[in-house]
Chains A and B, each alone.
Chain A
Protein backbone atom coordinates (compact mmCIF):
# COMPACT_ATOMS: atom_id res chain seq x y z
CA UNK A 1 0.00 0.00 0.00
CA UNK A 2 2.81 2.36 0.97
CA UNK A 3 4.64 1.63 -2.28
CA UNK A 4 1.48 2.31 -4.29
CA UNK A 5 1.23 5.72 -2.62
CA UNK A 6 4.89 6.39 -3.37
CA UNK A 7 4.42 5.46 -7.04
CA UNK A 8 1.49 7.87 -7.22
CA UNK A 9 3.41 10.70 -5.51
CA UNK A 10 6.40 10.21 -7.81
CA UNK A 11 4.10 10.31 -10.85
CA UNK A 12 2.07 13.22 -9.50
CA UNK A 13 5.23 15.27 -9.03
CA UNK A 14 6.19 14.77 -12.69
CA UNK A 15 2.68 15.51 -13.95
CA UNK A 16 2.47 18.67 -11.82
CA UNK A 17 5.81 19.91 -13.17
CA UNK A 18 4.73 19.19 -16.74
CA UNK A 19 1.34 20.86 -16.19
CA UNK A 20 3.13 24.01 -15.00
CA UNK A 21 5.85 24.14 -17.65
CA UNK A 22 3.94 22.48 -20.55
CA UNK A 23 7.29 22.17 -22.34
CA UNK A 24 7.08 18.52 -23.39
CA UNK A 25 3.30 18.58 -23.91
CA UNK A 26 3.27 21.40 -26.45
CA UNK A 27 6.35 20.26 -28.38
CA UNK A 28 5.16 16.64 -28.50
CA UNK A 29 1.68 17.62 -29.67
CA UNK A 30 3.06 20.06 -32.24
CA UNK A 31 5.44 17.42 -33.64
CA UNK A 32 2.67 14.79 -33.87
CA UNK A 33 0.20 17.13 -35.59
CA UNK A 34 2.96 18.19 -37.99
CA UNK A 35 3.53 14.53 -38.96
CA UNK A 36 -0.20 14.11 -39.65
CA UNK A 37 -0.33 17.32 -41.70
CA UNK A 38 2.69 16.29 -43.80
CA UNK A 39 1.20 12.86 -44.58
CA UNK A 40 -2.17 14.47 -45.22
CA UNK A 41 -0.68 16.76 -47.86
CA UNK A 42 1.64 14.10 -49.29
CA UNK A 43 -1.11 11.54 -49.96
CA UNK A 44 -4.68 11.79 -51.14
CA UNK A 45 -6.70 11.12 -47.96
CA UNK A 46 -9.61 9.73 -50.00
CA UNK A 47 -7.64 7.04 -51.87
CA UNK A 48 -7.68 3.35 -50.90
CA UNK A 49 -3.87 3.21 -50.75
CA UNK A 50 -3.80 6.03 -48.18
CA UNK A 51 -6.51 4.33 -46.11
CA UNK A 52 -4.45 1.12 -46.11
CA UNK A 53 -1.36 3.04 -45.04
CA UNK A 54 -3.15 5.24 -42.48
CA UNK A 55 -2.63 2.89 -39.47
CA UNK A 56 1.12 3.16 -40.06
CA UNK A 57 0.84 6.95 -40.29
CA UNK A 58 -1.19 7.01 -37.06
CA UNK A 59 1.41 5.00 -35.12
CA UNK A 60 4.31 7.05 -36.45
CA UNK A 61 2.48 10.15 -35.18
CA UNK A 62 1.69 8.48 -31.85
CA UNK A 63 5.10 7.00 -31.02
CA UNK A 64 7.84 9.15 -32.57
CA UNK A 65 6.90 12.33 -30.67
CA UNK A 66 6.73 10.26 -27.46
CA UNK A 67 10.54 10.26 -27.51
CA UNK A 68 10.50 13.97 -26.64
CA UNK A 69 8.65 13.33 -23.38
CA UNK A 70 10.85 10.34 -22.48
CA UNK A 71 14.00 12.44 -22.92
CA UNK A 72 12.51 15.37 -20.98
CA UNK A 73 11.45 13.18 -18.07
CA UNK A 74 15.07 12.48 -17.07
CA UNK A 75 16.78 15.53 -18.53
CA UNK A 76 15.10 17.81 -15.98
CA UNK A 77 16.00 15.41 -13.13
CA UNK A 78 19.67 15.45 -14.18
CA UNK A 79 19.89 19.22 -14.75
CA UNK A 80 18.91 20.12 -11.19
CA UNK A 81 20.44 16.99 -9.65
CA UNK A 82 17.05 15.85 -8.39
CA UNK A 83 17.74 12.36 -9.71
CA UNK A 84 20.52 12.23 -7.10
CA UNK A 85 18.02 13.36 -4.46
CA UNK A 86 15.70 10.44 -5.26
CA UNK A 87 18.55 7.94 -5.54
CA UNK A 88 19.82 9.05 -2.10
CA UNK A 89 16.42 8.51 -0.49
CA UNK A 90 15.48 5.08 0.86
CA UNK A 91 12.87 4.59 -1.88
CA UNK A 92 13.25 1.30 -3.72
CA UNK A 93 14.54 2.01 -7.22
CA UNK A 94 11.95 -0.34 -8.70
CA UNK A 95 9.27 1.85 -7.11
CA UNK A 96 11.00 4.90 -8.58
CA UNK A 97 10.86 3.22 -12.01
CA UNK A 98 7.13 2.55 -11.65
CA UNK A 99 6.51 6.17 -10.61
CA UNK A 100 8.39 7.49 -13.64
CA UNK A 101 6.71 4.92 -15.88
CA UNK A 102 3.27 5.90 -14.62
CA UNK A 103 3.84 9.62 -15.24
CA UNK A 104 5.23 8.99 -18.73
CA UNK A 105 2.41 6.60 -19.59
CA UNK A 106 -0.38 8.93 -18.40
CA UNK A 107 1.25 11.75 -20.34
CA UNK A 108 1.46 9.59 -23.48
CA UNK A 109 -2.15 8.42 -23.24
CA UNK A 110 -3.39 12.02 -22.75
CA UNK A 111 -1.47 13.27 -25.76
CA UNK A 112 -2.37 10.20 -27.86
CA UNK A 113 -6.08 10.98 -27.38
CA UNK A 114 -5.55 14.40 -28.94
CA UNK A 115 -3.46 12.94 -31.77
CA UNK A 116 -6.14 10.32 -32.46
CA UNK A 117 -8.76 13.06 -32.67
CA UNK A 118 -6.58 14.98 -35.14
CA UNK A 119 -6.01 11.77 -37.15
CA UNK A 120 -9.78 11.15 -37.43
CA UNK A 121 -10.28 14.68 -38.76
CA UNK A 122 -7.30 14.68 -41.18
CA UNK A 123 -8.01 11.22 -42.67
CA UNK A 124 -11.83 11.40 -42.71
CA UNK A 125 -12.60 8.47 -40.42
CA UNK A 126 -16.15 8.14 -39.11
CA UNK A 127 -16.67 7.58 -35.38
CA UNK A 128 -17.15 3.81 -35.02
CA UNK A 129 -16.73 0.90 -32.61
CA UNK A 130 -13.38 0.17 -34.23
CA UNK A 131 -11.99 3.37 -32.70
CA UNK A 132 -12.65 2.00 -29.21
CA UNK A 133 -10.38 -0.93 -30.04
CA UNK A 134 -7.76 1.50 -31.32
CA UNK A 135 -7.99 3.24 -27.95
CA UNK A 136 -7.46 -0.09 -26.23
CA UNK A 137 -4.44 -0.76 -28.46
CA UNK A 138 -3.09 2.70 -27.59
CA UNK A 139 -3.23 1.88 -23.89
CA UNK A 140 -1.43 -1.47 -24.34
CA UNK A 141 1.19 -0.13 -26.76
CA UNK A 142 1.73 2.86 -24.48
CA UNK A 143 2.57 0.55 -21.56
CA UNK A 144 5.26 -1.35 -23.49
CA UNK A 145 6.66 1.74 -25.19
CA UNK A 146 6.88 3.66 -21.90
CA UNK A 147 8.29 0.73 -19.90
CA UNK A 148 11.20 0.23 -22.31
CA UNK A 149 11.54 3.97 -22.96
CA UNK A 150 11.75 4.87 -19.26
CA UNK A 151 14.65 2.45 -18.71
CA UNK A 152 16.56 3.66 -21.79
CA UNK A 153 15.84 7.34 -21.04
CA UNK A 154 17.38 6.85 -17.58
CA UNK A 155 20.37 5.04 -19.10
CA UNK A 156 21.20 7.81 -21.56
CA UNK A 157 20.27 10.73 -19.30
CA UNK A 158 23.92 11.54 -18.52
CA UNK A 159 25.10 11.25 -22.13
CA UNK A 160 25.46 14.38 -24.25
CA UNK A 161 23.92 12.83 -27.39
CA UNK A 162 20.93 11.40 -25.50
CA UNK A 163 18.37 12.87 -27.94
CA UNK A 164 19.96 10.88 -30.77
CA UNK A 165 20.77 7.78 -28.77
CA UNK A 166 17.35 7.18 -27.22
CA UNK A 167 15.42 6.46 -30.45
CA UNK A 168 18.32 4.35 -31.78
CA UNK A 169 18.18 2.15 -28.67
CA UNK A 170 14.42 2.17 -28.23
CA UNK A 171 12.89 1.52 -31.64
CA UNK A 172 14.63 -1.79 -32.44
CA UNK A 173 13.36 -3.22 -29.14
CA UNK A 174 9.78 -2.10 -29.68
CA UNK A 175 9.46 -3.42 -33.25
CA UNK A 176 7.08 -6.22 -32.07
CA UNK A 177 4.64 -3.78 -30.50
CA UNK A 178 4.75 -1.45 -33.50
CA UNK A 179 3.89 -4.40 -35.76
CA UNK A 180 1.08 -5.46 -33.44
CA UNK A 181 -0.23 -1.91 -33.21
CA UNK A 182 -0.22 -1.25 -36.97
CA UNK A 183 -1.70 -4.63 -37.91
CA UNK A 184 -4.27 -4.57 -35.12
CA UNK A 185 -5.37 -1.07 -36.09
CA UNK A 186 -5.63 -2.04 -39.77
CA UNK A 187 -7.83 -5.02 -38.88
CA UNK A 188 -10.31 -3.07 -36.78
CA UNK A 189 -10.28 0.31 -38.51
CA UNK A 190 -9.93 -0.55 -42.22
CA UNK A 191 -11.06 -4.18 -42.63
CA UNK A 192 -13.54 -4.21 -39.74
CA UNK A 193 -12.24 -7.71 -38.95
CA UNK A 194 -11.78 -8.63 -35.31
CA UNK A 195 -10.85 -12.28 -35.81
CA UNK A 196 -7.06 -11.87 -35.44
CA UNK A 197 -7.09 -8.92 -33.06
CA UNK A 198 -6.76 -11.10 -29.96
CA UNK A 199 -3.40 -12.45 -31.24
CA UNK A 200 -1.99 -8.94 -31.47
CA UNK A 201 -3.46 -8.20 -28.05
CA UNK A 202 -1.77 -11.28 -26.60
CA UNK A 203 1.56 -10.19 -28.03
CA UNK A 204 1.13 -6.69 -26.58
CA UNK A 205 0.12 -7.95 -23.13
CA UNK A 206 3.09 -10.36 -23.03
CA UNK A 207 5.47 -7.59 -24.09
CA UNK A 208 4.05 -5.22 -21.46
CA UNK A 209 4.34 -7.72 -18.62
CA UNK A 210 7.90 -8.77 -19.56
CA UNK A 211 9.26 -5.25 -19.95
CA UNK A 212 7.48 -3.79 -16.92
CA UNK A 213 8.96 -6.59 -14.79
CA UNK A 214 12.40 -6.18 -16.43
CA UNK A 215 12.34 -2.40 -15.84
CA UNK A 216 11.41 -2.91 -12.18
CA UNK A 217 14.33 -5.31 -11.69
CA UNK A 218 17.08 -3.55 -13.67
CA UNK A 219 16.36 0.05 -12.64
CA UNK A 220 18.53 -0.30 -9.54
CA UNK A 221 21.54 -0.89 -11.83
CA UNK A 222 20.49 1.78 -14.31
CA UNK A 223 20.41 4.65 -11.78
CA UNK A 224 22.84 3.07 -9.32
CA UNK A 225 25.96 5.13 -10.00
Chain B
Protein backbone atom coordinates (compact mmCIF):
# COMPACT_ATOMS: atom_id res chain seq x y z
CA UNK B 1 0.00 0.00 0.00
CA UNK B 2 1.51 3.32 -1.07
CA UNK B 3 2.00 5.98 1.55
CA UNK B 4 -0.59 8.66 0.74
CA UNK B 5 1.88 11.41 1.59
CA UNK B 6 4.44 10.09 -0.92
CA UNK B 7 3.89 11.73 -4.30
CA UNK B 8 3.28 9.42 -7.24
CA UNK B 9 4.95 11.89 -9.60
CA UNK B 10 7.33 14.68 -8.71
CA UNK B 11 8.42 17.33 -11.21
CA UNK B 12 11.59 19.06 -10.24
CA UNK B 13 12.89 22.10 -12.12
CA UNK B 14 11.39 20.75 -15.35
CA UNK B 15 12.42 22.81 -18.36
CA UNK B 16 12.17 22.15 -22.08
CA UNK B 17 13.71 24.30 -24.80
CA UNK B 18 13.28 23.95 -28.56
CA UNK B 19 16.17 26.02 -29.90
CA UNK B 20 15.67 29.56 -28.68
CA UNK B 21 12.09 28.89 -27.57
CA UNK B 22 11.46 27.78 -24.00
CA UNK B 23 8.27 25.72 -24.01
CA UNK B 24 8.30 24.77 -20.32
CA UNK B 25 10.11 26.78 -17.62
CA UNK B 26 11.23 25.40 -14.29
CA UNK B 27 8.07 23.53 -13.29
CA UNK B 28 7.94 22.13 -9.77
CA UNK B 29 4.91 20.27 -8.48
CA UNK B 30 3.79 16.91 -7.17
CA UNK B 31 0.91 14.62 -8.01
CA UNK B 32 -0.36 12.30 -5.31
CA UNK B 33 -2.26 9.04 -5.62
CA UNK B 34 -5.94 9.83 -6.29
CA UNK B 35 -5.33 13.38 -7.58
CA UNK B 36 -7.29 14.38 -10.67
CA UNK B 37 -5.33 17.36 -11.92
CA UNK B 38 -6.73 19.56 -14.68
CA UNK B 39 -4.24 21.80 -16.48
CA UNK B 40 -5.60 24.78 -18.40
CA UNK B 41 -3.75 27.15 -20.65
CA UNK B 42 -3.89 28.85 -24.03
CA UNK B 43 -2.31 27.34 -27.15
CA UNK B 44 1.47 27.37 -26.90
CA UNK B 45 1.48 27.40 -23.09
CA UNK B 46 3.59 24.23 -23.01
CA UNK B 47 0.85 21.84 -21.86
CA UNK B 48 1.44 19.06 -24.41
CA UNK B 49 5.21 19.32 -24.00
CA UNK B 50 4.74 18.94 -20.26
CA UNK B 51 2.59 15.84 -20.72
CA UNK B 52 5.06 14.31 -23.16
CA UNK B 53 7.86 14.76 -20.64
CA UNK B 54 5.79 13.12 -17.91
CA UNK B 55 5.00 10.23 -20.29
CA UNK B 56 8.69 9.84 -21.11
CA UNK B 57 8.14 10.64 -24.81
CA UNK B 58 10.34 13.73 -24.69
CA UNK B 59 13.34 14.29 -22.46
CA UNK B 60 13.58 17.56 -20.55
CA UNK B 61 16.34 20.03 -21.31
CA UNK B 62 16.88 20.28 -17.55
CA UNK B 63 15.16 19.07 -14.42
CA UNK B 64 13.49 15.71 -14.05
CA UNK B 65 10.29 13.76 -13.64
CA UNK B 66 10.43 11.27 -10.79
CA UNK B 67 7.79 8.56 -11.04
CA UNK B 68 7.43 6.64 -7.76
CA UNK B 69 11.19 6.85 -7.30
CA UNK B 70 12.06 6.03 -10.95
CA UNK B 71 12.68 8.25 -13.92
CA UNK B 72 9.49 8.57 -15.96
CA UNK B 73 11.06 6.85 -18.97
CA UNK B 74 11.54 3.72 -16.86
CA UNK B 75 7.90 3.74 -15.77
CA UNK B 76 6.23 3.36 -19.17
CA UNK B 77 4.23 0.35 -18.00
CA UNK B 78 2.73 2.44 -15.19
CA UNK B 79 1.41 5.22 -17.43
CA UNK B 80 -1.61 5.42 -19.72
CA UNK B 81 -1.52 8.13 -22.39
CA UNK B 82 -4.32 9.67 -24.42
CA UNK B 83 -2.93 12.15 -26.93
CA UNK B 84 -4.37 14.25 -29.78
CA UNK B 85 -4.02 11.16 -31.96
CA UNK B 86 -5.95 7.98 -31.21
CA UNK B 87 -2.93 5.62 -31.36
CA UNK B 88 -5.32 3.08 -32.90
CA UNK B 89 -5.02 1.03 -36.09
CA UNK B 90 -7.82 1.86 -38.51
CA UNK B 91 -7.52 -1.48 -40.33
CA UNK B 92 -8.00 -3.50 -37.13
CA UNK B 93 -11.25 -3.97 -35.21
CA UNK B 94 -11.71 -2.38 -31.80
CA UNK B 95 -11.15 -5.76 -30.17
CA UNK B 96 -8.03 -6.49 -32.24
CA UNK B 97 -6.59 -3.10 -31.29
CA UNK B 98 -7.03 -3.76 -27.59
CA UNK B 99 -5.73 -7.35 -27.92
CA UNK B 100 -2.61 -6.03 -29.61
CA UNK B 101 -1.93 -3.44 -26.90
CA UNK B 102 -2.75 -5.96 -24.13
CA UNK B 103 -0.07 -8.27 -25.53
CA UNK B 104 2.46 -5.43 -25.67
CA UNK B 105 1.86 -4.91 -21.94
CA UNK B 106 2.11 -8.68 -21.27
CA UNK B 107 -1.37 -8.82 -19.69
CA UNK B 108 -2.80 -12.10 -18.43
CA UNK B 109 -6.26 -13.37 -19.46
CA UNK B 110 -6.13 -11.02 -22.43
CA UNK B 111 -9.37 -11.84 -24.38
CA UNK B 112 -11.61 -11.66 -21.28
CA UNK B 113 -9.91 -8.49 -20.09
CA UNK B 114 -10.35 -6.88 -23.50
CA UNK B 115 -14.04 -7.83 -23.69
CA UNK B 116 -14.75 -6.43 -20.24
CA UNK B 117 -12.92 -3.20 -21.09
CA UNK B 118 -14.92 -2.84 -24.31
CA UNK B 119 -18.13 -3.31 -22.32
CA UNK B 120 -16.96 -0.72 -19.80
CA UNK B 121 -16.57 1.97 -22.45
CA UNK B 122 -19.84 0.98 -24.14
CA UNK B 123 -18.29 -0.56 -27.27
CA UNK B 124 -19.14 -4.23 -26.72
CA UNK B 125 -21.53 -4.26 -29.69
CA UNK B 126 -18.98 -2.60 -31.98
CA UNK B 127 -16.05 -4.83 -31.00
CA UNK B 128 -15.80 -6.54 -34.40
CA UNK B 129 -16.13 -3.30 -36.36
CA UNK B 130 -13.06 -1.81 -38.06
CA UNK B 131 -11.87 1.31 -36.26
CA UNK B 132 -11.94 3.22 -39.57
CA UNK B 133 -15.76 2.96 -39.35
CA UNK B 134 -15.90 4.39 -35.80
CA UNK B 135 -17.23 7.87 -35.07
CA UNK B 136 -14.90 10.33 -33.34
CA UNK B 137 -16.65 9.67 -30.02
CA UNK B 138 -16.30 5.89 -30.37
CA UNK B 139 -12.62 6.28 -31.24
CA UNK B 140 -12.08 8.44 -28.19
CA UNK B 141 -13.76 5.88 -25.93
CA UNK B 142 -11.64 3.10 -27.45
CA UNK B 143 -8.56 5.27 -26.95
CA UNK B 144 -9.45 5.62 -23.29
CA UNK B 145 -9.96 1.85 -23.05
CA UNK B 146 -6.52 1.33 -24.61
CA UNK B 147 -4.94 3.70 -22.10
CA UNK B 148 -6.69 2.04 -19.13
CA UNK B 149 -6.20 -1.57 -20.24
CA UNK B 150 -3.06 -2.20 -18.21
CA UNK B 151 -4.46 -0.46 -15.09
CA UNK B 152 -1.88 2.34 -15.14
CA UNK B 153 -1.10 4.16 -11.91
CA UNK B 154 -1.11 7.46 -13.79
CA UNK B 155 -3.41 8.43 -16.66
CA UNK B 156 -2.33 11.31 -18.90
CA UNK B 157 -5.05 12.95 -21.00
CA UNK B 158 -4.18 15.54 -23.64
CA UNK B 159 -7.34 17.47 -24.58
CA UNK B 160 -9.61 14.41 -24.61
CA UNK B 161 -12.66 16.51 -25.59
CA UNK B 162 -11.18 17.65 -28.91
CA UNK B 163 -13.52 16.91 -31.82
CA UNK B 164 -16.30 15.41 -29.73
CA UNK B 165 -19.93 16.41 -30.19
CA UNK B 166 -22.14 17.10 -27.15
CA UNK B 167 -23.22 13.49 -26.80
CA UNK B 168 -19.61 12.29 -27.09
CA UNK B 169 -18.48 14.87 -24.52
CA UNK B 170 -21.17 13.75 -22.12
CA UNK B 171 -20.18 10.09 -22.44
CA UNK B 172 -16.54 10.98 -21.90
CA UNK B 173 -17.34 13.11 -18.85
CA UNK B 174 -19.28 10.17 -17.41
CA UNK B 175 -16.31 7.85 -18.00
CA UNK B 176 -13.82 10.30 -16.51
CA UNK B 177 -16.18 10.86 -13.57
CA UNK B 178 -16.01 7.12 -12.88
CA UNK B 179 -12.22 7.34 -12.85
CA UNK B 180 -12.40 10.16 -10.32
CA UNK B 181 -14.74 8.10 -8.11
CA UNK B 182 -12.30 5.19 -8.35
CA UNK B 183 -9.60 7.60 -7.12
CA UNK B 184 -7.45 7.07 -10.22
CA UNK B 185 -4.55 9.45 -10.59
CA UNK B 186 -5.15 11.59 -13.66
CA UNK B 187 -3.33 14.51 -15.25
CA UNK B 188 -5.63 16.09 -17.83
CA UNK B 189 -4.98 18.95 -20.22
CA UNK B 190 -8.12 20.67 -21.41
CA UNK B 191 -9.39 23.93 -22.89
CA UNK B 192 -12.80 23.18 -21.45
CA UNK B 193 -12.89 25.07 -18.14
CA UNK B 194 -16.33 23.78 -17.10
CA UNK B 195 -15.53 20.09 -17.68
CA UNK B 196 -12.09 20.47 -16.12
CA UNK B 197 -13.52 22.11 -13.00
CA UNK B 198 -16.26 19.50 -12.66
CA UNK B 199 -13.91 16.53 -12.90
CA UNK B 200 -10.74 17.62 -11.15
CA UNK B 201 -9.57 17.69 -7.58
CA UNK B 202 -6.79 20.17 -8.41
CA UNK B 203 -6.50 22.88 -11.04
CA UNK B 204 -3.46 24.44 -12.64
CA UNK B 205 -3.12 27.25 -15.16
CA UNK B 206 -0.06 27.13 -17.36
CA UNK B 207 0.96 30.26 -19.24
CA UNK B 208 4.08 30.78 -21.38
CA UNK B 209 5.59 27.61 -19.94
CA UNK B 210 5.18 28.73 -16.34
CA UNK B 211 2.79 27.53 -13.67
CA UNK B 212 0.76 30.72 -13.29
CA UNK B 213 -1.76 29.46 -10.71
CA UNK B 214 -2.80 26.33 -8.87
CA UNK B 215 -5.70 25.67 -6.53
CA UNK B 216 -7.84 22.90 -5.10
CA UNK B 217 -11.10 22.42 -6.97
CA UNK B 218 -13.29 23.47 -4.04
CA UNK B 219 -11.48 26.81 -3.77
CA UNK B 220 -12.92 28.14 -7.04
CA UNK B 221 -16.35 28.51 -8.57
CA UNK B 222 -16.78 28.35 -12.33
CA UNK B 223 -17.04 32.13 -12.71
CA UNK B 224 -14.01 32.68 -10.47
CA UNK B 225 -12.02 30.20 -12.54
CA UNK B 226 -13.06 31.90 -15.78
CA UNK B 227 -12.15 35.36 -14.44
CA UNK B 228 -8.81 34.12 -13.13
CA UNK B 229 -8.01 32.28 -16.37
CA UNK B 230 -8.69 35.26 -18.64
CA UNK B 231 -6.87 37.62 -16.28
CA UNK B 232 -3.76 35.42 -16.52
CA UNK B 233 -3.78 34.74 -20.26
CA UNK B 234 -4.59 38.34 -21.20
CA UNK B 235 -1.78 39.78 -19.10
Q: A interface vs B, CB < 8 Å?
A: 2, 5-6, 9, 13, 16-17, 20-21, 80-82, 84-91, 225
Q: In the bound complex, do residue B105 and residue A89 qualify as a contact, i.e. CB atoms below 8 Å apart?
A: yes
Q: B interface vs A, CB < 8 Å?
A: 55-59, 76-77, 79, 81, 83-92, 96, 100-101, 103-106, 130, 146
B100 touches which of A2, A9, A81, A90 (Cβ 8 Å): A9
Nearest A residue to B77 by beta-carbon distance?
A: A90
Give the most central of B56, B81, B86, B91: most A CB within 10 Å.
Answer: B91
Q: In the bound complex, do residue A13 and residue B105 qualify as a contact, i.e. CB atoms below 8 Å apart?
A: no
Nearest A residue to B88 by beta-carbon distance?
A: A80
Q: In the bound complex, do residue B106 and residue A17 qualify as a contact, i.e. CB atoms below 8 Å apart?
A: no
Q: Is the interface of B mostly helix, strand, loop or mixed?
A: loop
Q: In the bound complex, do residue B104 and residue A86 qualify as a contact, i.e. CB atoms below 8 Å apart?
A: yes
Q: In the bound complex, do residue B100 and residue A13 qualify as a contact, i.e. CB atoms below 8 Å apart?
A: yes
Q: In the bound complex, do residue B91 and residue A89 qualify as a contact, i.e. CB atoms below 8 Å apart?
A: no
Q: Provide the bound-state CA to CA distance between A84 and B143, in Å.
A: 13
Nearest A residue to B100 by beta-carbon distance?
A: A13
Q: In the bound complex, do residue B106 and residue A90 qualify as a contact, i.e. CB atoms below 8 Å apart?
A: yes
The smallest C-beta distance from B73 to any residue of chain A, in angstroms, reads: 9
Q: Provide the bound-state CA to CA distance between A2 and B108, in Å.
A: 12
Q: In the bound complex, do residue B105 and residue A82 qualify as a contact, i.e. CB atoms below 8 Å apart?
A: no
The smallest C-beta distance from A19 to any residue of chain B, in angstroms, reads: 9
Q: Is the interface of A mostly helix, strand, loop or mixed?
A: helix
Ordered by A's residue number, 8 sampled pairs between the chains whose C-beta atoms are within 8 Å are A13-B92, A17-B92, A20-B91, A85-B87, A88-B55, A89-B77, A90-B77, A90-B104
Q: In the bound complex, do residue B59 and residue A84 qualify as a contact, i.e. CB atoms below 8 Å apart?
A: no
Known pairs A9-B100, A90-B76; list 12 more (Cβ under 8 Å): A6-B104, A16-B96, A17-B92, A80-B86, A80-B87, A80-B88, A81-B86, A82-B87, A85-B87, A86-B104, A87-B57, A89-B101
Q: Which residues of A contact B91 (CB under 8 A)?
A: 16-17, 20-21
Nearest B residue to A23 by beta-carbon distance?
A: B91
Q: In the bound complex, do residue B87 and residue A84 qualify as a contact, i.e. CB atoms below 8 Å apart?
A: yes
Q: Which residues of A contact B56 (CB under 8 A)?
A: 88
A88 touches which of B57, B86, B90, B100 (Cβ 8 Å): B57
Known contacts A6-B103, A86-B104, A91-B104, A80 near B77 by CB under 8 Å: no
The smallest C-beta distance from A98 to any residue of chain B, in angstroms, reads: 14
Q: Provide the bound-state CA to CA distance between A16 and B100, in Å.
A: 12
Q: Provide the bound-state CA to CA distance between A85 and B101, in Å.
A: 8
Q: Which residues of B contact A225 (CB under 8 A)?
A: 57-59
